[in-house]
Structure 1
């Protein structure tokens, strides 16, 4: 191989000695232009972060400068890179034009081909040059230009335009992804801030709701105790009035008997003893009523065991001892459920006070995993069989007045999904037994 052959392989120049230097000079100029073009390409493509338009403008100027174009057109095919903007841009001199109505006729012909048939970019329309722009081996548009008069466009120049076009397609796609990510990030931050604010608002509303519920439950608990006190006061008023009137009548009879010359002093003494018993009974019931009315809404709310302890003090005649026993781990209950359980317990204790001679009453509350068991027992002389018959009769005939409380107790129990039974207690009297399933939902 001759020296010229080695030199031709290195430079791409194959000529004799007389033409060697001019060809070398032209080749060196092309290489220098290619290096300059690559530099312009790199400077254009690093503007991806500035947004799609800045990128397209930089590509158009770099390409036009490389081929010294009278005009240069950058265009995307219809349907390709749908989110990219602008879709086409013409550089004529120093002016950037987006309105196709202002395009030169030859540039408009290239635009139509690039928008509809970008794969035909190798076939110029009338004048100028055109190269395709591809992304993932698919044509997505191209670059067309009309070089200045006397400008010879070599294959290396077309290769530079293809590199610039293809890298522009990649950069446009990346620019869209970058800005989409930034928009999503901004939207995410806005949504996150809105969610945090909403969470704070919900926390505040929840705190207000919990406070309102706490107050409502407290009111309902106090109302249950107050209702029981008022009913006791009303019933005791009627019974005390009857006792006092009876005692007064017996005393009046004794006075009348004592005026007789042959009065039976033993009979008078017996009547006075009975009158004394009636007055003592009336005093005890008045004491219980006064105690019940004295403890009013100033009492703070509490759990069901605490409220049962308070309720046990409402029924407080001197001859009745009331005890409360709680077994298991207490669980919170809806206010309506606690209200019903308190009213049922109060009704049972009231019946014990009013209708038996009991000296002891026991309230037993047991928390089980799946239910609550509540029993109210006494050591009086009540008959459970008779009470069961009375309850059936009250439910069947809708009795008013006496023993209507038994039907109310069972109705409240059934509203909670539970059962009520009346049986003989272990301490000798009546036992009212409730079983309520858990969990209980607020009504």
Structure 2
């Protein structure tokens, strides 16, 4: 017996002590195994980590109650703030009734006033309070209550202290990991925005230095030809061509303004952008009025950009194709949608334009009607609709309706120009 176990067989007390020691060692090994399996839950998120921690403590001590809580002043990103396992290893929710002694300890722990050097005198050997420390500061606690059949010894206390200290480190690392992911995502978005801004400015320069100058030169040549034209019919046609080039220049300037707008600066709201559109980027002989209905709300950048471009295209059509002298922009906010309408007093025919939109589904359009099809495409891409009807002031009314929340989540409201 002595050779096999190291315990002399001469005294009856040696073997029971040996068995007790082996059982304690097995419990510790099992507990450390549970701790290691609990800590690998870091990658699964904080809630899974905390639940595994509490259940490992409850399993080791066959405890009636185990409470793990974080103080209100510490680890602001930790979630959940506390976890409780009750009789039978059942995870208790916030709706479950808690015993008075447990509620009292929980309140003191979250307030940061719980004393860890004092254990309830009515439960000696059956209640343990282990402080959770981070950088020598107590940030929470792990509390255990066992029944009368299970006494907490020094080995159990050492195991729980290991569990508590390693768990808070893992919890802190999880918070740092999540924070790092958010920072990395923000850097990625900033980098993408930088690339997009660079490309936008490059396109704006190209439009200004080449296309706009060419259109202006063409307009000047048309004016010279119109002055020298002997035929009234030819002069009239050249006048129309001159107006078209002037409208093209106005449209190009509007696009250049949108492309050059600083994406990193303060964004104008959609009503402000439309106000700028009416006063700066349209032909001087088109009088435009803007009306806002409802309570303006921030929209995703894609939605505001789409409405801004639809409005610009509709006003351009009113001035150039409809020969309108007056236009009205109405922007209406509702709980679930936003509606933009552009009405004019021009010569356009709603039925003709509706027929163009129907044909747009077959992609059988020439360049003269591509702007109308683009407006419809912008609305449909965001789950909205585009309609054409007779306006109250005699011409055409273009109306676009988008659902509130259109566009990818997380985009910055008010960035219609981005």
TM-score, with normalisation over the residues of structure 1? 0.49
- Deviation of 1:366 (Å): 2.0
Match of 1:138 in 2: none
Over residues 85-108 of structure 1, what are the superposed CA-to-partner deviations in whole Å (9 max), with x where a residue is unaligned? 389xxxxxxxxxxxxxxxxxxxxx
Q: Secondary structure at the match of 2:379?
A: helix
Match of 2:172 in 1: 196
CA distance in 1: counterparts of 2:369 and 2:204, whole angstroms: 16
Over residues 28-47 of structure 1, what are the superposed CA-to-partner deviations in whole Å (9 max), with x where a residue is unaligned? xxxxxxxxxxxxxxxxxxxx
Structure 1 pair 313–272 and aligned structure 2 pair: CA distance change class (3 A): same
Q: Which has the larger radius of gyration?
A: 1
Asked whether the 8 Å contact 1:418–1:434 carries over to 2, the reply is yes
Please show how residues 139-158 of structure 1 align to structure 2 within 5 Å. none
CA distance in 1: counterparts of 2:215 and 2:156, whole angstroms: 85
Structure 1 pair 387–189 and aligned structure 2 pair: CA distance change class (3 A): same
Match of 2:224 in 1: 248
CA distance in 2: counterparts of 1:376 and 1:232, whole angstroms: 28
Match of 1:374 in 2: 340
CA distance in 1: counterparts of 2:326 and 2:202, whole angstroms: 23
CA distance in 1: counterparts of 2:205 and 2:330, whole angstroms: 21
Matching residue within 239, 258, 272 for 1:306 = 272
Match of 2:15 in 1: 75
What do you get for the CA RMSD once the two structures are aligned? 4.9
Q: Are 1:364 and 2:364 matched, yes or no?
A: no
Identify the structure with the greater helix proportion.
Answer: 1
Structure 1 pair 247–284 and aligned structure 2 pair: CA distance change class (3 A): closer
Structure 1 pair 393–441 and aligned structure 2 pair: CA distance change class (3 A): closer
CA distance in 1: counterparts of 2:187 and 2:245, whole angstroms: 42
Structure 1 pair 286–215 and aligned structure 2 pair: CA distance change class (3 A): same
Asked whether the 8 Å contact 2:226–2:235 carries over to 1, the reply is no
**Unpaired segments of 5 or more residues in structure 1?**
1-59, 88-169, 255-267
- Deviation of 1:373 (Å): 1.3
Q: Secondary structure at the match of 2:368?
A: coil
Asked whether the 8 Å contact 2:293–2:333 carries over to 1, the reply is yes
- Deviation of 1:341 (Å): 2.8
Asked whether the 8 Å contact 1:232–1:350 carries over to 2, the reply is no
Asked whether the 8 Å contact 1:221–1:335 carries over to 2, the reply is no
Please show how residues 222-301 of structure 1 align to structure 2 within 5 Å. 244-254=220-230, 281=243, 285=247, 288=250, 291-292=253-254, 295=257, 297-299=260-262, 300=265, 301=267
Structure 1 pair 389–228 and aligned structure 2 pair: CA distance change class (3 A): farther
Structure 1 pair 411–283 and aligned structure 2 pair: CA distance change class (3 A): closer
Structure 1 pair 285–373 and aligned structure 2 pair: CA distance change class (3 A): closer
CA distance in 2: counterparts of 1:233 and 1:321, whole angstroms: 29
Q: Secondary structure at the match of 1:403?
A: helix
Match of 1:38 in 2: none
Matching residue within 185, 201, 206 for 2:182 = 206
CA distance in 2: counterparts of 1:229 and 1:313, whole angstroms: 23
Asked whether the 8 Å contact 2:345–2:396 carries over to 1, the reply is yes
Matching residue within 386, 401, 406 for 1:435 = 401
Structure 1 pair 195–336 and aligned structure 2 pair: CA distance change class (3 A): farther
Structure 1 pair 417–283 and aligned structure 2 pair: CA distance change class (3 A): closer
TM-score, with normalisation over the residues of structure 2? 0.51
**Unpaired segments of 5 or more residues in structure 2?**
1-6, 28-146, 410-418
